[in-house]
A and B are shown apart, each in its own frame.
Chain A
Amino acid sequence: MDRRKSIKSIILGSVAGGLAVHGCKPEGAAIEEETVSTDEKYFGRTPEELELIEKLNAEQFFNEHELETIDVLSNLILPPNENGGPTEAGVPEFIEFMAKDIPELQTTLRGGLMWLDHKSNTDFGTEFKLTEEAKQKQILDPIAFYDAEVPMDEQALEIQFFSLMRNLTLTGYYTSKMGIEDLGYKGNMPNVWDGVPQDVLDQHGVAYEEEWLAKCVDQSKRGVIAEWDENGNLLT
């Protein structure tokens, strides 16, 4: 996909609303559509950072069984909906990467997975990933809730483990393309900010004051070069 083109069309699409005043805009009020771009081939890493990522990618921390267990567990934590779920969002791969990127996570994750299988084997005679869902939940129910008044590192290992898995599952999902869509976040693209919509103001019981708004940018004139009088009053 030619990302450059698609961003351009996004801007034209989204700015058109914000600049509905186009017809009466003064000369020079055009926005810089053509210069906004992002190239999907890169993600802003220095050569040293790329090297580190390649090195981490070449290593394998979790074995196949552990990754399968992570997959099963993450889908219990956040069951898929019509937008998808942890598997489609790449959560197991993300957790594998993070365990190498932040090695402090390793013992809690690996130890927790072993605890899970031990518990499942003890109670049901099968490892966790092969246990039927209702029984998996019986294992999870006692470890899934934590006491918010007690520091996490003072809580039982299996509670710490589950909390970490829940955090990584949710962050992995909500930082994926489908997760961001599911959440409904609308930003990270060129637009013209012109205040909170009225229905949102009403919902939260706040309002703009005329006096304050009068100081704010008139977006129809944002493309006009600023000029001031000698007292700092904006003329354009």
Chain B
Amino acid sequence: MQIKESATVYDAIIVGSGAGGGMSTKVLADAGLNVAVVEAGPFFDPKDPKQQTQLKWPYESPRRGAGTTRVFGEWDMAYGGWEIEGQPYTHKDGTKFDWYRSQMLGGRTNHWGRISLRFGPKDFKHKDVDGLGDNWPIGYEDVKPYYDRLDKLIGVFGTNEGLPNDPDGFFLPPPKPRLHELFYIKGARKSKMPVIPSRMSMLTKKINNERGVCFYCGQCGRSCQVYADFSSGSCLIFPAQKSRGQVDLYVNSMVREVTTNEEGKATGVSYINREDRKEYKLRGKVVILAASACSSARILLNSKSKQHPNGLGNSSDLVGKYLHDSTGASRAGFIPGLMNRKLSYNEDGVGGMHVYTPWWLDNKNLDFPRGYHIEVWGGIGMPNYGFGFNPNEFNKFFGLPTGGYGEGLRADVKKYYGSVIGFGGRGEAVARKDNYCEIDPTTVDKFGIPVLRFHYKWSDFERNQAKHMQATFEELIHNMGGEVLGDTPTKEQDYGLLAPGKIIHEVGTTRMGDDPKTSVTNKFQQLHDADNVFVTDAGPFVSQADKNCTWTILALSMRASEYIVEQLKQQNI
């Protein structure tokens, strides 16, 4: 079988169309460049009535929203999951890592929580604070101008609070808290914990004439048809297609490797077309990998040549190393004060939380080095599969029988509707070299591409942090006059710390640095070993913060992509 090679030489080939790839596409196309965007999944537009799930009712599906084919429920707008048929991954030494992938135009940005937090000054230099991990080669002041422009370009609501490590920005005004969030504010204050309006990328106010304004259906996880939430396809790729440059979209195209020449420079990529299952080649002056931290590492490791025998960019042997996800632990409580709610109004709000708690303590006084923030959920949401399960379970708190049948169940359902509040702690793990992904030489996927093998262990730093989360959540629930649901997770259960990969914030596989021996990319996310290859997903992160990674992926991608434009103009690459 001959590999088909295109005649066009693109200025850049961008692999992946999520946050990082979308931003690269926008910056390069705005500069008038000719780019190819190669996406593993299908085309997607939340406006397309065939693909749309927004505003669907559960009864429009025979399974009423159950998560059989989509792990977050069948209305969730991500094509993929932790397991994808025909695309396995493996593990080493009995360790665990769950790898979430969303293969479609826009990638995971179509369903993400839109929690858009800047990293603070401390987050880039955390080694200076506690001696652990490594500092970034850049600091907050290097990224701030890009965060500022990003806020205005994409739109994020929030408030300027003057917090030292949760920087201010250019925020749209936030929505008012919902009922359970007012309970949360009250409960948190009893423990002297701060609560501030959340910072999320939905348009509560117009930012331009191309995108609509939020109409409060609470369904950002379904991707917004009026483009009022940030999804990479609708907010970056589509505008890029209308700009000065040429954007060619290659969808259903699974990149196998980066091709290189005698000098070891990239010449383009080869990919499998999922429709005809044949291999093709594209040529470009620059290759930008933005396939997600693990997918980009996989592509690099699979790009072996005489010049790069250990995989492209891997002379340091660090591609895939320092993989780390946010920590996560959760808890929920039943709040009697939220019983018997009037259902006279629409409380959907924006998708997700209207308020949150940023990290508020000093780790010097704690037995774990890094912080976490608290996400809050609850409210009178739309029923879907699972609604009405164990309808009077909370009778147990009143000494009443649980179960039964008959007319009384209707009253039970209404009595308890909206009386649960839940918390997610999302924290920082310390990046470690011995948490990594590598190529498993024994296994290929259905495209014939060698797959990833993971090796990942939490340390007591992360376990102790999860223990602290559990104690905090229980205290909050008691402060709200509530009953904690479920038993306190034990030490043997890692205090409820979720398996790595479950929070879907994986970063660090191509970390940046000034020294080619201890890093894969430089501070402009350019491979030390091949100057025309860049990584604009979360791979170059030196450390995750107690924040979500997307806003920083976007800011850094903007920064790296402008550097690429500049370097191309100067003919340096």
Interface set of A (CB-CB < 8 Å, partner B) = 7, 11, 14, 28, 31-32, 35-46, 49, 52-53, 56-57, 76-79, 81, 90, 93-94, 97-98, 101-102, 140, 144-149, 162-163, 166-167, 170-177, 179-180, 182-197, 199-201, 203-208, 212-213, 215-218, 221-226, 228, 232-234, 236
Contacts and interface: CB of A to CB of B under 8 A. Distances in A.
A97 B56 contact: no
Interface stretch (B295-303, B359-367, B395-403): B395-403
Given A145-B401, A177-B57, A180-B57, A222 B213 contact: yes
Contacts of A79: 406-407
Interface stretch (B60-68, B93-101, B238-246, B500-508): B60-68
20 contacts: A38-B49, A44-B56, A77-B409, A78-B410, A98-B66, A167-B388, A170-B409, A171-B387, A177-B59, A183-B414, A184-B344, A186-B344, A187-B381, A193-B176, A195-B176, A200-B342, A215-B197, A216-B173, A217-B175, A228-B170
Contacts of B458: none
B64 A175 contact: yes
Contacts of B164: none
Number of chain B interface residues as a range: 35 or more
B403 A166 contact: yes
B569 interface: no
B217 A188 contact: yes
A213 B177 CA distance: 9
A43 B61 CA distance: 7
Contact of A46 (B79, B171, B218): B79
Contacts, number: 292
Contacts of A147: 402
B344 A44 contact: no
A224 B208 CA distance: 9
B341 A174 contact: no
A76 to B, nearest CB: 6
B349 interface: yes
A196 B183 CA distance: 12
A77 B179 CA distance: 31
Contacts of A184: 343-344, 414
Interface of B: 42, 47, 49-66, 68-69, 74-75, 77, 79, 152, 155, 157, 159-160, 168-179, 182-183, 185-186, 197, 204-209, 212-213, 215-219, 222, 225-226, 337-338, 341-350, 380-391, 393, 395-396, 401-407, 409-410, 413-414, 417
B49 A42 contact: yes
Contacts of B176: 193-196, 208, 212-213, 216-217
A192 B216 contact: yes
Given A144-B403, A145-B401, A197 B56 contact: no
Contacts of A42: 49-52
A137 to B, nearest CB: 8
B388 A182 contact: no
A43 B56 contact: yes
B64 A78 contact: no
A82 to B, nearest CB: 12
Contact of B226 (A28, A36, A175, A213): A36
Contact of A234 (B59, B172, B179, B385): B172
A101 B401 CA distance: 32
B391 A170 contact: yes
B410 A11 contact: no
Contacts of B64: 94, 171-172, 175
A213 B53 CA distance: 32
A90 B381 CA distance: 22
B383 A174 contact: yes
Nearest to B179: A196
Give chain A's interface secondary structure class. loop
Give the top 6 A-B pairs by smallest Cβ distance, nearest first: A170-B388, A44-B53, A184-B343, A175-B58, A39-B49, A190-B215
A185 B413 contact: no
B170 A212 contact: no
A176 B341 CA distance: 21
B197 A174 contact: no
Contact of A189 (B47, B51, B217, B226): B217
A38 B174 contact: no
B62 A97 contact: yes
B230 to A, nearest CB: 15
- Specify which of B152, B218, B222, B403 lies most central, judged by the most chain A CB atoms within 10 Å of its CB: B403
Contacts of B51: 42, 44
B346 A187 contact: yes
Contacts of B348: 187-188, 191, 193
Contacts of B69: 49, 52
A140 B204 CA distance: 52
Given A185-B383, A215-B174, A98 B402 contact: no
A187 B347 contact: yes
B159 A215 contact: yes
Contact of B402 (A38, A76, A148, A206): A148
A102 B56 CA distance: 22
A206 to B, nearest CB: 4
A236 B349 CA distance: 22
B70 to A, nearest CB: 8
B292 to A, nearest CB: 20
Contacts of A94: 62, 64
B62 A206 contact: no
B171 A232 contact: yes
B382 A31 contact: no
A188 B197 contact: no
B387 to A, nearest CB: 5
Given A191-B346, A193-B346, A193-B349, A40 B177 contact: no
Contacts of B157: 217
A201 B345 CA distance: 12
Contacts of B391: 166, 170
A193 B413 contact: no
Given A102-B68, A216-B176, A183 B405 contact: no
